[in-house]
Chains A and B, each alone.
Chain A
Amino acid sequence: MLKSLLDRFQRLNPLLFACMAGLIVIGVAFVYSACSVREDPELRMLYMRHAEVGVAGLAAYLLLAWLDYRTVIRRWGGLVYLFCLVLLVLVPLVGEARMGAQRWLFGIQPSEPAKLGVVMLLAWLYSRRDVKRGAVMFFLTVVAVGVPAVLILMQPDLGTAMVLVPTVFAMLFTARVAPRIVWSCVLAGIAAAALVLSLIYTAERAELPRERREQLIAMTQLKPHQVRRLQVFLFPDKDLHGSGYNRRQSEIAVGSGGVWGKGYLKGEQYMLGYLPPSVSSNDFIFAVLAEEAGFAGSLTVLLLFLGLLVSGLWVAFRCQDDTGRLFCVGIITLTFSHMFINIAMTIGIMPITGLPLPFISYGRTFMLTMMAAFGMVQSVSIYGRESETRF
């Protein structure tokens, strides 16, 4: 027993753990920064909640690392997926609305574990020998991912729904499922994005009559606030006090940090409220960090993410079975998408979407989900190197 425990411990990927722990420590530190200016004593203690979730997440991490991921994914993957689906259905029925969106159910956001559920489901599905990897499988995937994605979109939470797309495509690509359809879809997706952007660009740029402009914008099939975010992305200086405000203020925060930053707890953008306190501890936490720690701090975070993601892929690379490989690829792609979109929107090179920065942003459900997911990646590191025949 002790020997096997020691054996498992030696198989842990230390870089994977170290990078995650580093990001969480940074997260607690800057959530403390961001919430220190809040008047409400409960909000002022937000960093403690973040740290508590870190501790709880560590327990989940260790537990899931200790359990064999094959058992977890193959036996429970489908159930986790179904359970999340039920929660997502319940959200519009009994969930609570905050800031214009109905995302919460008993204090958690079911859309976050749903992402993990989808990855687990697909990792299980694609690694089965008895499934065909043709068009049928592809459409099965579309349905399996489509149902929770539509439920999430209805909340509305475009960002979370969108982040599923690269994750699923990365898994389809790795599993070699219907490569032609996958590539066609990727190209079609790029074309659709280009079309939407060009529609909005034409509507804003060209001197068109009002009804024609509204017609063009209606063709994008997007909600008004989503259209506004894309407009801000295309024309950043258009509405600096309205919908472009957050983008502008986070750009100022990041830029005014300079090379070495203003020093810990000395960020002015969040302290003076130019960066709204409602977003500074979650979606825009990177702006707080970049202002206080400068380019040096930004680079540190990027390097930690690089270490985390590459060691995650290294675990997949070393893994001997498809379940572990696909799961790792899914989780790493999901994490990367979150990180990339979040940092890119903070500096204005992507449209604003409410996506948190993994391990750093305040957000308890997301944090717990991500730690659980990386616990399972760690489990792949421990058990995935053994060949199937030894079972």
Chain B
Amino acid sequence: MESYGQKLTDSWRIALFALLIAAGIVFLAVSLHRVQVERFSVLALDQLRQSVRRVQVPGPRGRIFDRNGVCLADNRASYCIAYYVEELRKRGRWINTIRAVDADVDRLAAELGIPRQLSFTAISNHVLQSLPMPLLAWRDVDQETLARWAETVEPFPGVDVFVQPERIYPQGALAAHVLGYVGRDRPLPLPGQKIHFYLPEMIGKQGIERQYNPTLTGTSGGRLIRVDARGYKHAVWEGEPSVAGADVHLTLDIEVQRALEKVLRGWRGAGVVLDPRNGEVLALTSSPTFNPNDFVPVLTPGVWKRLNDDPALPLFNRAVLGRYAPGSTFKPVTAIAALRHGISPDMTYVCGGAFELGTMRLRCWNTYGHGEIALRKAIEQSCNAFFCHLGHTIGYAPVYEEARRLGLGTPTGIDLPSEGGGLLPTGAWKEKQMRDAWRPGDTCQISIGQGLLLTTPLQMALLTSVFANGGTVYRPHLVRRAGLPETLNMMDWPPAAITLVRDGMHDVAELGTGRRARVRGTAVAAKTGTAEVDVGGVRRKNTWVTAFAPFEQPTVAVAIMVENGESGGLTVAPMVHDVLASVFGETPREGDDTADTAAPEVRGD
């Protein structure tokens, strides 16, 4: 015991340790205060930043209605079978989880008796790139499969039905070229917000769907997903709700549209019906057409190939993009230009069956000639020689100016995503493009709507509507607007001149080539046209009728063009009749139909 004796240690040394320990603990307390109290907001935000993912959720897409409230584009619920991968997670490397999902998809496919749609690559891409999102294994499944899923005996953890809105066009192919179609795509991020994941959004690809996409789309909402360190979904917080897109109300009248499409069925052609009082488009179609429902939920390669390889070009909107010589339907323009430039309404010209200019000889359709003929009769008879003479007399400049102000040569500015302007040539244009000078023959050709002049059916409908309303060019539009219609030009035609041309067009429908367009109970004015064109070495005839009605107070202007028709009067005029009849109705027949009995006599363009 002696070996341990009394203490040698000093108590102050122990007290010093107590002080040091207290100092150390105070130091830790101060440091913890700095981290937990002073830097709290920064570090809490860092934590959210690393663990919260934003999912952009599109708002329901707006619907599209015709002028009477008939629904043309709507949304339906599409049922998908979706995998929630976090329920099937496997430990270790990602490939374990991918394989587990892949095997389960096979198992479920066998259970439901449907072929799997999901490839192994698609699964691994999903797991590696959008883990917290549902993995859609089968899209748009039918009721039978859904019923079988509901009755499945075997448990399938992590599989659930996922409802997704899908576009539907209740009228089928009707007005397809106007409506366009949608595709699914990556949405645009909301300003100032980063999207980590998104639900593919419906985006308009053509037509009104594309033109008014911002209106129809609405505002995306956000959903916040809490993910764990590996990226699996842990919790979901609803963020700001999405706002539905606005509905779009069109100027289209579905009955007129239906009539127009019915008459053009089987033909390649296009037709446009305008309201001459304000430029509203009542109907617009291009034939053949397509069914926008084929593009939902996704356009299959087979359908795409069929539509693209079809020589009739069903996806091509002839009404606004086609380029066609207007033929005789252009003659009212030549007439009004002449009347404005000092040609007397009573001036006559002797038609000998052709117009000769130097070595050039332009034949009139009436080979025997119309004899001595004045303007009103020339319009009714559509005398080529007369109009060639007229154009030659006044020169190209007045004709060009009139046509330009009527909107030819430039797109009308209709609210569709793509529109052509046709071609209204100038001397400079010909010089540049064809390395040839402007010749009087060019003027004569254009005076009868042939030669270098090319127009779209929409332009011709617009032109007709200007003759109908007496001289105001309204911008054609498909979506209804409040307020005054937009005016492109005021023609300022002398009242006598426009009256004469309109009378001539009235005669066409009453007595001339457009008789088949007549509608009982309504006075119609029309102009027919047959343009000869060279399509790959083959002579084809593009046949036209432009018309407006009722004659005194027109509410409808129509232009219909059919490729490779017989003649305007024979092929197209009955179509115009049906379309006008759909607008005005037709009083019951009284005795013989003069249009029918007179049919064999209808000759000319």
Which residues of A are in contact with B by a Cβ distance under 8 Å?
A: 39, 70, 74, 127-130, 170, 173-176, 251-259, 268-269, 271-274, 276, 290, 294-295, 298-299, 302, 305-306, 309-310, 313-314, 316-317, 319-323, 325-326, 329, 332-333, 336, 340, 343-344, 347, 349, 388, 391
Contacts and interface: CB of A to CB of B under 8 A. Distances in A.
A268 B32 CA distance: 19
A306 B24 CA distance: 10
B535 interface: no
B14 A344 contact: no
Given A274-B50, A343-B28, A322 B4 contact: yes
Contacts of B25: 302, 305-306, 309
A272 B226 contact: yes
A290 B35 CA distance: 10
B439 interface: no
A81 to B, nearest CB: 18
Nearest to A317: B14
A161 to B, nearest CB: 21
A323 to B, nearest CB: 6
Contacts of B230: 273
Interface stretch (B38-46, B96-104, B405-413): B38-46
Contacts of A128: 3-4
A332 B25 CA distance: 13
Given A176-B8, A325-B7, A325-B9, A272 B40 contact: no
B32 A347 contact: yes
A245 B39 CA distance: 19
A37 to B, nearest CB: 9
A259 B51 contact: no
Interface in B132-191: none
A130 B3 contact: yes
A70 B5 CA distance: 12
B321 to A, nearest CB: 54
A142 to B, nearest CB: 21
B107 interface: no
Nearest to A272: B228
How many interface residues does chain B have, given as a range? 35 or more
B47 A252 contact: yes
Contacts of B13: 173-174
B21 interface: yes
A258 B6 contact: no
Nearest to B5: A129
A299 B32 contact: yes
B473 to A, nearest CB: 66
A267 to B, nearest CB: 11
A320 B51 CA distance: 58
B11 interface: yes
Nearest to B44: A256
30 contacts: A176-B8, A176-B9, A254-B35, A254-B36, A255-B36, A255-B42, A255-B46, A256-B40, A257-B40, A258-B36, A258-B40, A259-B40, A269-B47, A272-B227, A273-B228, A273-B229, A274-B50, A274-B229, A295-B37, A298-B29, A310-B18, A313-B18, A321-B4, A322-B4, A325-B14, A329-B14, A343-B32, A347-B35, A388-B4, A388-B5
A336 B7 contact: no
Contacts of B8: 175-176, 322
Contacts of B195: none
A391 B39 contact: no
B36 A294 contact: yes
Contacts of A317: 11, 14-15
A312 B15 CA distance: 11
Given A174-B14, A321-B7, A306 B33 contact: no
A173 B29 CA distance: 27
A257 to B, nearest CB: 6
Contacts of A294: 36
Contacts of B119: none
Contacts, number: 149
A322 B9 contact: yes
B123 to A, nearest CB: 23
Q: Which of A39, A174, A272, A323 has the most CB of B within 10 A?
A: A272
B1 interface: yes
Nearest to B28: A343
Contact of A274 (B10, B44, B51): B51
Interface of B: 1-11, 13-15, 17-18, 21-22, 24-25, 28-29, 31-33, 35-37, 39-40, 42-44, 46-47, 50-51, 91, 226-230, 234
Contacts of B28: 302, 340, 343-344
A136 to B, nearest CB: 17
B3 A332 contact: no
Given A268-B51, A302-B25, A251 B43 contact: yes
A255 B44 contact: yes
Contacts of A343: 28, 32
A312 B231 CA distance: 47
Given A176-B10, A273-B228, A321-B4, 6 more contacts: A174-B13, A252-B43, A258-B44, A259-B40, A295-B32, A313-B14
A272 B36 CA distance: 20
A255 B39 CA distance: 6
A333 B17 contact: yes
A208 B496 CA distance: 95
Nearest to A261: B36
B17 A326 contact: no
Nearest to A253: B47
B4 A129 contact: yes
A175 B9 CA distance: 6
B9 A272 contact: no
Interchain residue pairs A-B with the least CB separation, the first 10: A255-B43, A273-B229, A272-B228, A295-B36, A256-B44, A258-B40, A129-B5, A256-B47, A274-B229, A313-B18
B35 A320 contact: no
B6 A388 contact: yes
A170 B24 CA distance: 15
A170 B36 contact: no
B43 A320 contact: no
A268 B17 contact: no
Given A269-B47, A272-B229, A295 B31 contact: no
User: Which of A256, A294, A305 lies at the interface centre, i.e. has the most chain B CB atoms within 10 A of its CB?
Assistant: A256
A239 to B, nearest CB: 15
Nearest to A170: B17
A252 B46 contact: yes
Contacts of B35: 251, 254-255, 347
